[in-house]
Structure 1
């Protein structure tokens, strides 16, 4: 074949290839695509281990009566069918996991409470990422991390630990932790990573589904009683975090902050009241090292005149961080963590009379309707409060209330239910109810 023939034949082929490549360039889409929202088909809410003196509350905002399944104990426990109906709280002696399917999967809420002292916590759903700030692994301050797998297949998690001196090595003991189907693994941090300093945990689910909870404990050396509290998780670090619901008469108040970034962070504290959110003039910014934890004692601040009427604390940082508040009320251990914004109606059971609801974190001016129901599902109170940015609102809960329905209008809010009695205090954050599931957007792609 002559050279002219070879060139003549090659030109159309090159033109066709160029056209195909040009079309490919036009049609290629980004690999990362947002998942689609679909009606939730199943919800599994997991409670931490409770004591004999305590129980579990269940409520549903699905708008219809139905059945959910409750499991107490280990893998061999048989599920129990529980009837739920709108606006009514169901009380159980115990439950490790509560599952709703179909219509009852949407709007399910479960709360664990127990004694001695006063402990209460919202039972979380499974999550691929959770942070727990202010845990301990020493002789006096120790924490237990519980990992529960609601499915039949195995799941694995890796726990990263930050300390006051930086990242904490665990020698591989907290990497690839396996949890069998239907089982709960309890990790005593004092045994796994003995260390006398404030810690933060990052729990990442690598396979399957896991729900993580923490039981925090202070064990006095010598005389004195051990005090325990449930420590809720935080979904993700942020540069602004609200710790709402400070009870009166808190002893030894502290704020623990974990800088989760690889850069030093400037951290300041602001007080939240019904009138404003402000930084006291005597407080200065504090530098927190990268990937490390710092504890702030705020006893002097909360006892000063400037803290009169304080309803919460805002933690502001130049880098993403996590935070928690810790103190004691009548000797009972108390923990508060950021609960995150609520944009739609949510429910919160009320464990004891004399509670109050604290709302804040509004993005714009709006209102919040708070409706109270007694143990039989009868309305015993209703109130609409106005709320705006840079301030908080306190709502007294009727003494007969067993369940609250909180619905924001025209704004998102954050909130916390403050429980107090002769034994101590507990704070339960409001959470957005699960109503939608996420389905990954999977499409054919070029390789």
Structure 2
């Protein structure tokens, strides 16, 4: 079951709980005045997000930024907060001990202050953490804070393995994840972080696929993640093979969990590698920075069938084919990687992968380098789903953020809104036209009187698919720290079928 299906089920259940008992009615007979009505599109009423532990470095500085765009149709009530993943279990254990001792039930009252707790939709709120002991976080938003809720985790590490800027968008729990682009090479230290938000244990299987197929793993099956906890799994402990390019498949066989990969390099910095969008015959990897000095494409085809992909770059002037890399052959069950060099050549671009013959689902990601020599820094961009109805990215600054928009299949109009600042300012919006087959790095609207950071909300105004990615930059001149986050649909609304109340169910 994929992420979208789970979100629809959760959203429908939450709405049904509010609107009362509901039963589906039979379609009216033809020729009558009653006609079937389209499903209503309503805001979701509850959302949950998981943030992995940011860093093990003692000199790490992390900022969490929470943002909910203003959504029509929501009520006036709601809450949202991020708390340590271990807090609920700690409270539950203490409460159980208290109950056993006193014979009374109830919570102990031991509650730590949330890392972030938003006050109003449309305005971001931030929280900070320092050092290498920060835990994974579990977030829950309800009511007016739920539709489109997004949380950005951004970490600065001044030195050591993985030094630079690391960023990740906190994600909902799911049951399956694909990560093309991981590595067990000598210079890399890659962890899969699994976070379980639920009251029961989750059980996960981790599979590794390299250039010759599946790798033998020692403890990759049946990994238990206790309730309300996070488990880091060092990939090099799962296999003795040292390979530069691997694909990780995480399957949650019992329960559900959040999963993210932290890829740290001794020489090239590091960043988070989010999961690729679900396997599909055609993919888009948006938002490759214009000053990228090296781009490496990694792809994997689940199953036995080979995939042949046409490789194109959506540039500001249109689709072009990288010289010498017109196609990519991906053998079934094997990971394939290719160096595209400085493929963007000073202009923002996005990779567009399409099948040349039969349609075979694949997953893909790129590793991007900026800088030269000892000042190189790396980031990862997975293949992404389109923006859909709306998407947001938090933790932006007037000079340190760029936004790339791609319309590979037709001209699109897109509205971009910069929210009020976290410490003050007035929201601002602009509308852009993205020509078919192009990627545009747009000039961002900036809130008037900006104080603090702001969020960007992207809303396509046409039916043409639009892909988006936001780049954050920070760091010293000799180390160009950066991180890139894609902007898939925020799943802030759900379709609810037409239903009638049926009090007869109370009599059964």
Residues in 1 aligned to 2:199 and 2:265: alpha-carbon distance in whole angstroms: 35
Structure 2 counterpart of 1:22: none
Alignment of 1:207-246 (within 5 A): 207-220=254-267, 227-246=269-288
Aligned length: 397
Q: Give the structure with higher Rg (CA).
A: 1
Structure 1 counterpart of 2:460: 408
185-194 or 281-290, which deviates more: 281-290
Residues in 2 aligned to 1:300 and 1:332: alpha-carbon distance in whole angstroms: 14
Residues in 2 aligned to 1:93 and 1:35: alpha-carbon distance in whole angstroms: 32
Residue pair 1:130, 1:202 contacting (<8 A) in 2 also: yes
Structure 2 counterpart of 1:312: 350
Q: Deviations over 1:319-372 (max 9, x none)?
A: 211111112223221111122112212221134432221111465443111111
Structure 2 counterpart of 1:444: none
Where is the strand percentage greater, Structure 1 or Structure 2?
A: 1
Question: How large is the Cα RMSD of the aligned pairs?
Answer: 2.7
Alignment of 1:99-178 (within 5 A): 99-116=140-157, 117-171=164-218, 173-178=219-224
Residue pair 1:352, 1:420 contacting (<8 A) in 2 also: no
92-101 or 143-152, which deviates more: 92-101
123-132 or 232-241, which deviates more: 232-241
Residue pair 2:67, 2:122 contacting (<8 A) in 1 also: yes
TM score, norm. by length of structure 1: 0.81
Residues in 2 aligned to 1:378 and 1:386: alpha-carbon distance in whole angstroms: 26
Structure 1 counterpart of 2:79: 67
**Secondary structure, aligned partner of 1:134:** strand
Q: CA deviation at 1:387?
A: 2.7
Q: Deviations over 1:350-399 (max 9, x none)?
A: 34432221111465443111111222463353210123432222212256
Alignment of 1:24-423 (within 5 A): 38=12, 39=15, 40-51=44-55, 52-61=60-69, 63=71, 66-72=78-84, 74-75=86-87, 76=90, 78=111, 80-81=113-114, 82-94=117-129, 96-116=137-157, 117-171=164-218, 173-197=219-243, 198-220=245-267, 227-280=269-322, 282-299=324-341, 301-302=343-344, 307=345, 309-317=347-355, 318-330=359-371, 331-354=376-399, 355-361=401-407, 363-373=409-419, 374-376=421-423, 378-398=425-445, 400=450, 402-411=454-463, 412-422=465-475, 423=480
Residues in 2 aligned to 1:250 and 1:333: alpha-carbon distance in whole angstroms: 10
Residue pair 1:62, 1:108 contacting (<8 A) in 2 also: no
TM score, norm. by length of structure 2: 0.72
CA 65–332 in structure 1, closer or farther in 2 if over 3 Å, else same: farther
Residues in 2 aligned to 1:72 and 1:292: alpha-carbon distance in whole angstroms: 38
Residue pair 1:132, 1:234 contacting (<8 A) in 2 also: yes
Q: CA deviation at 1:61?
A: 2.4
CA 252–405 in structure 1, closer or farther in 2 if over 3 Å, else same: closer
Structure 2 counterpart of 1:5: none
CA 436–126 in structure 1, closer or farther in 2 if over 3 Å, else same: farther
Q: CA deviation at 1:284?
A: 3.5
Residue pair 1:131, 1:233 contacting (<8 A) in 2 also: yes
Residue pair 2:199, 2:228 contacting (<8 A) in 1 also: yes
In structure 2, list runs of 5 or more residues that go unmatched. Answer: 1-6, 16-43, 92-110, 130-135, 158-163, 497-508
CA 380–104 in structure 1, closer or farther in 2 if over 3 Å, else same: closer
Residues in 1 aligned to 2:156 and 2:337: alpha-carbon distance in whole angstroms: 27
Residues in 2 aligned to 1:215 and 1:280: alpha-carbon distance in whole angstroms: 29
Q: Structure 2 residue aligned with 1:428, among 440, 460, 485? A: 485
Residues in 2 aligned to 1:194 and 1:101: alpha-carbon distance in whole angstroms: 45
Q: Deviations over 1:216-265 (max 9, x none)?
A: 01125xxxxx7221111123112222222122332332111112231122
Structure 2 counterpart of 1:443: none
Residue pair 2:69, 2:122 contacting (<8 A) in 1 also: yes
CA 438–150 in structure 1, closer or farther in 2 if over 3 Å, else same: farther
Residue pair 2:70, 2:122 contacting (<8 A) in 1 also: no
Residues in 2 aligned to 1:329 and 1:418: alpha-carbon distance in whole angstroms: 12
Q: Deviations over 1:395-444 (max 9, x none)?
A: 122564611121111223110012223442211111211335799xxxxx
Q: Deviations over 1:108-132 (max 9, x none)?
A: 1111100121221111111122111
153-162 or 92-101, which deviates more: 92-101
**Secondary structure, aligned partner of 2:288:** coil
Residues in 2 aligned to 1:361 and 1:170: alpha-carbon distance in whole angstroms: 41
CA 389–104 in structure 1, closer or farther in 2 if over 3 Å, else same: same
In structure 1, list runs of 5 or more residues that go unmatched. Answer: 1-33, 221-225, 440-447
